[in-house]
Structure 1
Amino acid sequence: MIELDSLKPKYHQKILEISLTTEQTQFSTSPIAFLADKTIGIDHHVIKIANDVVGFFKLDRYFAEQNDFVPVRSLGLKTFVIDPAFQGQGIGQRAVNALPAYIKKHYPKFNTIYLTVNCKNEAAKHCYIKGGFIDSGELYYGGPVGPQHILYQDLSSSRF
């Protein structure tokens, strides 16, 4: 079973043991950079299976203020990473499916979640779409590795 949790010191070593591929680091960030990020408004979280950390992600509480394509009361999903040793097992999609309920519980004032995913990263886009995100049909051009699809998910539904 997938469990999402806020980052705690006891998870740091497990995060550092995640070894990303070169392709993953071009679209995301290294475990060291993830742990080192102290940006105000960015909250760090882990993805666990049976108490084992298999991934991590960030939620940006100021994403709407920094991006004109994002409405108010929207969180930003960033740096969503699954350990390569656990990829191909549906873990990413199950973690994405768990996000709405997790966000509604821990971030109740937000009603939408947004993310950008690089146009070259079709596997990640497919995972997000299968997990309930909708492609806005627009592109974001401020990414470091080229244009990105803008995806979102409405959290106001009572199904979460």
Structure 2
Amino acid sequence: MIQLKAYTPSYQKHIEAYQLLEEHQRFTELPTVCVQKAKDDSQRFSVLTISDEQLVTFFSLSVGDAVQMYTENSNAILLRSFSTDSNYQGRGYAKQSLMALPFYLEKHFPNITEIILLVNCLNHPAIKLYQACGFKDTTQRIRGIKGEQMVYSRKMVHKIEGGS
């Protein structure tokens, strides 16, 4: 069973031990970099997926200007720098994390109605994963320093349908 947890300094050793294959580093940032950026940005939050007291996946969430570049929805949040520690790849942790994310958002960011993410057009495994987890291609494309990025969106369905 996994748990999504907000970063606290007590997780720093886990962050420093996190490993990414070099081929994956071309598509995402290391958690150490993301945690530092979050310290300097009050609208950026680091989230860890913990399983059996081990850090298995990591991502950042951003609100405000960072997400408004990709949507007109003022209640959207940007999922960024999503990765799985190379020691835990292929065990389903990425999918479990993404499927748990709406519940985490409901608790910690209750006004959020949409999740936005960017994925490199060449990162086919990630595209397949995001689609399997309910993300849809908006057809918007962004040229970035790491190549062309596709903008994906997942609506928080329970909120759109009138639930709370």
By the TM > 0.5 criterion, same fold? yes
Q: Deviations over 1:73-115 (max 9, x none)?
A: 1000011111011111111011111111111111011110100
Shift of 1:68: 4.5
Q: What does 1:28-107 align with in structure 2 at a 5 Å threshold?
A: 28-37=28-37, 38=39, 39-62=41-64, 63-65=66-68, 67-107=69-109
Q: What amino acid does structure 1 have at the position aligned with 2:15?
A: I
Provide the alpha-carbon RMSD of the alignment.
1.7
Unaligned ranges ≥5, structure 1: none
Report the more deviating stretch, 107-116 or 45-54.
45-54
Distance 1:108 1:58 in 2: 17
Amino acid paired to 1:121:
N
**Counterpart residue number, 2:147:** 146
Q: 1:64 to 1:20 in 2, by over 3 A?
A: closer
Using the TM superposition, give the Cα deviation of residue 22 of structure 1 relative to its aligned residue in structure 2, in angstroms: 1.5
Change (3 A) 1:31 1:64: closer
Task: State how far apart, in whole Å, the 1-side matches of 2:104 and 2:133 are.
Answer: 14
Q: 1:54 to 1:68 in 2, by over 3 A?
A: closer
In the comparison of the two structures, how many residue pairs are matched?
158
Separation in 1, partners of 2:90, 2:79: 21
Decide whether aligned partners of structure 1 residues 22 and 70 sit closer, same or farther in structure 2, where only a CA change above 3 A counts. farther
Aligned-partner Cα distance in 2 for 1:133–1:18: 26
- Runs of 4 or more consecutive aligned structure 1 residues displaced over 3 Å after TM superposition: none
CA drift of 1:71 comes to: 2.1
Show structure 2 runs of 5+ residues with no match: none
Matched residue, 2:136: 134
TM-score (normalizing by structure 2): 0.89
**What is the percentage of aligned positions where both structures have the same residue?**
27
Please report the TM-score for the alignment, with normalisation by the length of structure 1. 0.91
